[in-house]
Chains A and B, each alone.
Chain A
Amino acid sequence: MTCAIRMMGGQVMALVKSEELPVRIEQDVVMARQAVRRLSVELKFSLVDQTKMVTAASELARNTVVYGGGGTMRCEVLIDGGKSGLRLTFEDQGPGIPDMSLAMKDGWTSGGGMGMGLSGAKRLVNDFEIVSEVGKGTRVTITRWK
Chain B
Amino acid sequence: MVMTMNDSNTSDLAAPPRTADEGSRVVRAGFIPLVDASVLIATAEFGFAEREGIKLDLVKDVSWANVRDRLAFGQFDVAHMLSPMPVASMLGLGSNPSPTITPFSLGRGGNAITLSTRLFERMTATAGLSETAGALENARALAMVIKDMKARGETVPTLAMTYPFSSHNYEFRYWLAAGGIDPECDVKLVVVPPPLTSDALAAGAIDGFCVGAPWNMVASERGVGRIVAAKQDIWPSAPEKVLGMRPDWTESHTETVSRLVVALDAAARWCDRVENHDALAAALADPRYIAAPVQIIRHVLAGEFNLDAKGNRRVIDDYFRFHGGFANYPRPSQALWIYSQMVRWGQAEMSPANARAAASAYRPDLYRTALGGASGPPDADIRIEGDKDGDRFMDGHVFDPAHLADYVSGFAVRSIRPATPGTEDA
Q: Real complex partners, A and B?
A: no
